[in-house]
């Protein structure tokens, strides 16, 4: 099962919200894409053990 959580229109995303999202993602054993994440949010998710990259970076990494 694949989920897509589109964050491209989000203007504020507090660290507590990132923590709640990280907790939900660790409980879910599904593939999740998170377009619209900013660098700070990616870094905080990594602190919680969720390794994610922006879709454009992932596409470049896959092409290399």
Q: What gap in Å lies between CA 30 and CA 26, rounded to an integer?
A: 9
**The pLDDT of residue 53:** 56
Contact by Cβ (8 Å): 58, 31 = no
**Residue 23: HSE in the Cβ half-sphere, 13 Å Cα cutoff:** 6
How many whole angstroms separate alpha carbon 23 and alpha carbon 13? Answer: 15
CB atoms closer than 10 angstroms to residue 1: 7
Listed by start position, the domains of the chain span: 2-63
Per-residue pLDDT of the chain (64 residues; tens, 9 = 90+): 778 888 899 888 898 988 888 888 888 777 788 888 888 888 888 888 887 755 544 443 444 4
Predicted confidence at residue 60, as pLDDT, reads 38
Report the alpha-carbon distance of residue 8 to residue 45 in Å, rounded.
Answer: 17
């Amino acid at each position: 099962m694949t989920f897509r959580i589109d964050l491209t229109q989000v203007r504020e995303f507090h660290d507590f919200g990132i923590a709640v999202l990280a907790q939900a993602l660790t409980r879910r054993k599904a593939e999740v894409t998170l377009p619209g994440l900013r660098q700070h949010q990616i870094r905080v998710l990594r602190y919680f053990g969720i390794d994610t990259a922006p879709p454009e970076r992932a596409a470049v990494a896959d092409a290399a």
